[in-house]
Amino acid sequence: MILVSGNGRLAKELEKLSTDSLPIKILSRKDMDITNEYEVSDVIKDLMMKPGYPKYFIHTAALTKPMDVNDRNPIMSLDTNIVGTANVAKICNKYGIKFIYISTDFVYGDEDIVDEDSPLKPSNNYGWSKLGGECVTQLIPNSLILRCALCDIPFRHKVAFDDVYRNSITHKDVADIILKIKDEVGVINIGGEYKSVYDFVSEHQSVEKKSGLHIAPTLLLNTNKLKSILNE
């Protein structure tokens, strides 16, 4: 069994991939409050006592939308993205469950070209909070950190930046990749083809162009490690 925290887009795409041979169980906030260490412990302990106990935990739960909520409420950001991650990671380590942490390319900050060994210099509180979760995960031997360049599709905005280039990728594609590489360890970048945000979104829906270099940095995410694992 694979456990997935959260009920956002990635969790829902992962749930669609559930099979009889590899069931995927979603733990929403109603099922388990990750900021409550005792509740996390009780829920996982109970699942470990049942047949088909979990072997993997994919941690997608995070304070992400809108992203600036991490700037407006840094304590909530700390509690959810760092302390919450620690609560889950500790109990996974206790029971020998593989801990897979969904991070973000925002941990790289304003760098132009990055790979998994590049310096980490987040430029906003969201990036810092996710990096804090990475620090927690690094302390767990049986773990995997995935730095994803996720982009919401359907897109939430009426305009998209035509001068900001990134390796945007859909939640569906990331879900497919996660199940293929779930037994890896360490850190892996996950992204799609390098193109403007506008070009990426336009492949899925109509949207207007807008300049965004004054708002968001351009970032080229090196995904050679992922391609090597997938033999692409």
Q: Is the dihedral of CA 147, 16, 185, 81 positive or negative?
A: positive
Phi/psi class of residue 202: alpha, beta or left (left: φ > 0; alpha: ψ in -120 to 50)? alpha
pLDDT of residue 123: 85
Digitized pLDDT (tens) for each residue of the chain, 232 residues in all = 999 999 999 999 999 999 999 999 999 999 999 999 999 999 999 999 999 999 999 999 998 876 678 788 889 999 999 999 999 999 999 999 999 999 999 999 988 899 999 999 998 899 999 999 999 999 999 999 999 999 999 999 999 999 999 999 999 999 999 999 999 999 999 999 999 999 999 999 999 999 987 777 789 999 999 999 999 7
Cα gap 68→70, rounded to integer Å: 5
Quote the pLDDT of residue 196: 96
Query: Could you give the CA distance from residue 228 to residue 224 in angstroms, rounded to a whole number?
Result: 6
Give Cβ neighbours of residue 161 (< 8 Å, ≥ 6 apart): 196, 197, 198, 210, 211, 212, 213, 215, 216
Spatial separation of the C-alpha atoms in residues 167 and 149, rounded to whole Å: 6
Check residue 215 and give its pLDDT: 78
- Phi, psi of 160, deg, nearest 5: -135, 145
Vertex 103 angle, CA 98 and 106, to 5°: 165
pLDDT of residue 66: 63
Cα(216)–Cα(142) distance, integer angstroms: 34
Sequence-separated (6 or more) residues with CB below 8 Å from residue 91: 40, 41, 44, 45, 97
Residue 209 β-bridge partners = 160
Provide the 8-state DSSP code for 198. H
Coil/strand/helix, residue 212: coil
What is the reported pLDDT for 67? 67
Domains of the chain plus CATH, in order, are 2-150+168-191 (3.40.50.720)
What distance in Å separates the CA atoms of residue 129 and residue 64, rounded to the nearest whole number?
Answer: 10
Distance CA 46, CA 223 (A): 38
d(CA 211, CA 164) in angstroms, rounded, equals: 8
